[in-house]
């Protein structure tokens, strides 16, 4: 039935044209923006996921900046500690030279002093953006390393902790370490003597009657090429409230003897003299691997408030006993600097690994976002051409449908 009021063919053609135009507009938008999902109305679920991932990528970019800053800070500290190690090694060569009797110890001591001042200068200058990890003031530095998102969407920050090292040279104070033997002069706080390989003896005396020990004070002793140390504990201080040097000295001496025994040194016997609290008696000539050479014993005190290299201030090679004591002291200080360098090297390596991981992770997230929302341009191009043909056909179909009522006039001609 033909009707001049209702044109069903035109309505169908119009709806088809509208649908084609809508798809064509969406395709053109994808071409102009490069995205299939440009707004939440395009695909709300995918759009929401992509926005969360984009926020994480922005966070990763901030983390990369934090890691770069932290890596630079640790690199400065590592370079400083390695430089200090080299300077201490150079100082050791001076101290070894001072062991000879036919050298000018005064000039050598001047060189040692200059090296000590240079070490202090390096430690003081080793800061980056105001943070110094080697002067004992920084404690632990936290470097933002990652943002962790759980399945519930909760985000937590994780950090890399870098422990500051104390390579400062200040804060040294002398207290109660004496040494004496038949072939060495008794010397305060830089105590040392040498025992004859065939049968020598010497006493190390812990005596804090003048300057009381405090918890954290440390006594170090070098025997030959081995080092032992004992740190004064709170329990070593007489709990009565009145300082009893005999009580404390005995406990410190026994604690130091236990540390020496743990080294397993042969050729040297160490006895604790209970009749003289605080006294350790050394005797050589007992046989073993150390019995083929003279044995040097050097003791060193470092107070609890001293820097990690605080014992540097006590090194004085201008005398026989000072040179002997300095040899043991410098070994302990080199170990301290090496440990600091190794610690910073490990931390720097971890930071660099995390930097690479975060960079790769950000790239993976960016790629993932692209696969969710980016338009496939090859597919979109083909779709555009098809829709343009459909638009032309739909337009022609509507034109034909609009002309059909004209045929009714022929019925009344």
With beta carbons less than 8 A apart as the criterion, state whether 330 and 95 touch.
yes
CATH 1.20.1330.10 fits 47-168+341-365, yes or no: yes
Distance CA 376, CA 374 (A): 7
Contacts of 406 (CB under 8 A, 6+ apart): none
Distance CA 370, CA 91 (A): 60
Q: Give the number of other CB atoms < 10 A from CB of residue 155.
A: 12
Full 3-state SS string of the chain: CCCCCCCHHHHHHHHHHHHHHHHHHHHHHHHHHCECCCCCCCCHHHHHHHHHHHHHHHHHHHHHHHHHHHHHHHHHHHHHHHHHHHHHHHHHHHHHHCCCCCCCHHHHHHHHHHHHHHHHHHHHHCEECCEECCECCCCEEEEEEEEEECCCCCEEEEEEEEECCECCCCCCCCCCEEEEECCECCCCCEEEEEECCCCCEEEEEECCCCCCCCCCCEEEEEECCEEEEEECCHHHCCCCCCCCHHHHHHHHHHHHHHHHHCCCCCCEEEEEECCCCCEEEEEECCCCCCCCCCEEEEEEEECCCCCCCHHHHHCCCCCHHHHHHHHHHHHHHHHHHHHHHHHHHHHHHHHHHHHHHHHHHHHHHHHHHHHHHECCHHHHHHHHHHHHHHHHHHHHHHHHHHHHHHHHHHHHC
Tell me the pLDDT of the chain (413 aa) as tens digits: 667 677 777 788 788 888 888 878 777 777 777 777 877 877 888 888 888 888 888 888 889 989 999 999 999 999 999 999 999 999 999 999 988 878 888 899 999 999 999 998 999 899 998 899 998 888 888 898 888 888 787 888 888 999 999 888 875 555 556 655 433 333 344 456 777 767 777 788 888 887 788 888 888 787 777 778 888 888 888 887 788 888 888 998 899 999 988 888 877 888 887 788 888 888 877 554 444 556 777 777 777 666 778 778 778 888 877 787 788 788 888 998 999 999 999 999 999 999 999 999 888 888 888 888 877 777 777 887 887 888 888 788 878 777 777 777 777 76
Distance CA 78, CA 289 (A): 37
Taking Cα atoms as reference points, which of 88, 162, 170, 160 lies closest to residue 132?
A: 162
With beta carbons less than 8 A apart as the criterion, state whether 37 and 47 touch.
yes
Q: Where are the domains of the chain?
A: 47-168+341-365, 177-305
Cα 247–chain centre separation: 41
pLDDT tens by residue, 354-370: 999 999 988 888 888 88
CATH 2.40.50 fits 177-305, yes or no: no
User: pTM for the complete prediction?
Assistant: 0.62
Residues linked to residue 158 through DSSP beta bridges, in sequence order: 146
**On the CB side of 122, how many CA atoms lie within 13 Å of its CA?**
24
Q: What is the dihedral angle through the alpha carbons of 60, 64, 70, 75, rounded to the nearest 10 degrees? A: 150
Residues linked to residue 191 through DSSP beta bridges, in sequence order: 299
Taking Cα atoms as reference points, which of 162, 176, 164 lies closest to residue 218?
A: 176
- Kindly report the backbone phi and psi dihedral angles of residue 60, in degrees, each rounded to the nearest multiple of 5, phi listed first: -65, -35
With beta carbons less than 8 A apart as the criterion, state whether 202 and 297 touch.
yes
pLDDT tens by residue, 107-127: 999 999 999 999 989 998 999
């Amino acid at each position: 039935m033909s009707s001049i009021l209702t044109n069903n063919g035109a309505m169908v053609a119009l709806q088809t044209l509208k649908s084609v135009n809508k798809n064509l507009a969406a395709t053109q938008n994808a071409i102009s923006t490069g995205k299939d999902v440009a707004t939440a109305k395009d695909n709300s679920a995918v759009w929401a996921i992509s926005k969360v991932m984009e926020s994480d990528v922005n966070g990763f970019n901030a983390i990369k900046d934090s890691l770069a800053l932290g890596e630079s800070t640790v690199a400065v500290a590592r370079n400083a500690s390695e430089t200090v190690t080299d300077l201490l090694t150079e100082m050791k060569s001076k101290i070894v030279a001072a062991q000879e009797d036919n050298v000018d110890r005064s000039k050598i001591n001047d060189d040692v002093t200059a090296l000590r001042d240079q070490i202090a200068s390096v430690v003081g200058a080793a800061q980056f953006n105001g943070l110094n990890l080697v002067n004992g003031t920084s404690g632990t530095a936290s470097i933002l390393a990652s943002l962790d998102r759980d399945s519930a969407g909760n985000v937590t920050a994780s950090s890399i902790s870098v422990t500051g090292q104390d390579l400062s040279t200040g804060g040294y104070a002398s207290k109660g370490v004496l040494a004496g033997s038949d072939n060495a002069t008794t010397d305060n706080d830089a105590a040392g003597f040498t025992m004859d390989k065939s049968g020598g003896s010497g006493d190390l005396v812990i005596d804090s009657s003048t300057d009381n020990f405090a918890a954290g004070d440390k006594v170090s002793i070098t025997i030959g090429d081995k080092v032992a140390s004992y740190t004064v504990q709170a329990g070593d201080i007489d709990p009565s409230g009145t300082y009893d040097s005999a009580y404390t000295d005995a406990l410190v001496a026994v604690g130091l003897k236990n540390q020496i025994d743990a080294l397993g040194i042969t050729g040297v016997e160490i006895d604790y003299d209970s009749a003289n609290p605080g006294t350790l008696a050394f005797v050589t000539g007992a046989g073993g691997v150390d019995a083929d050479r003279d044995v040097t014993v050097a003791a060193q005190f470092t107070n609890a408030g001293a820097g990690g290299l605080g014992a540097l201030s006590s090194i004085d090679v201008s005398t026989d006993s000072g040179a002997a004591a300095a040899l043991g002291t410098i070994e302990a200080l080199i170990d301290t600097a090496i440990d600091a360098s190794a610690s910073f090297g490990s931390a720097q390596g971890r930071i660099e690994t995390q930097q690479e991981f975060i960079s790769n992770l950000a790239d993976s997230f960016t790629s993932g976002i692209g696969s969710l929302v980016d338009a496939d341009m090859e597919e979109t191009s083909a779709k555009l051409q098809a829709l343009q043909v459909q638009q032309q056909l739909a337009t022609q179909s509507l034109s034909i449908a609009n002309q059909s009522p004209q045929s009714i006039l022929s019925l009344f001609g």
